[in-house]
Amino acid sequence: MINHPQFNDRISFFRLEVDYSSLPDDLTGLSPEEAKRTLDQLNKKLVDLHNLLVKIQAPNMKANQKLETAREKLQETNEEFDNARKRAKAAKAAFEKIKNERHRRFNLCYDHVASSIDGIYKVRRV
């Protein structure tokens, strides 16, 4: 426990009871000068740890930006792919339509020629 008259007066003024039992042994029973030195050291450690945390978090922010950029590129690529797929589907449908029309016309021509030739062959065989 800290034994300093001014400190104890403040505690009694606010009627606070502070439990120092959770403090490590080396932090209890310090003189005001030692307490100030220890507090300064702890504050310096806290600042150092905070700076380290900021340095560690900075790359994560860059990673989030890169992730967002990658998502945007993926979205653009998906849209381009969908458009290309739609164009390919339309081209295939047009091709199939023309192919079926050519097939139909060929069969009409074949049937006409076959029926015309059939009569000629029957006449020649007789």
pTM: 0.44
- pLDDT of amino acid 13: 56
- pLDDT of amino acid 2: 54
The band of 11, judged by pLDDT with boundaries at 50, 70 and 90, is low
Q: How far is CA 44 from CA 28, 31, 59, in A?
A: 20, 20, 24
Q: What is the pLDDT of residues 24-70, one digit of tens each?
A: 777 777 788 888 888 899 899 999 999 888 887 766 667 888 899 99
Q: Extract the tokens encoding 72.
A: 């945007």
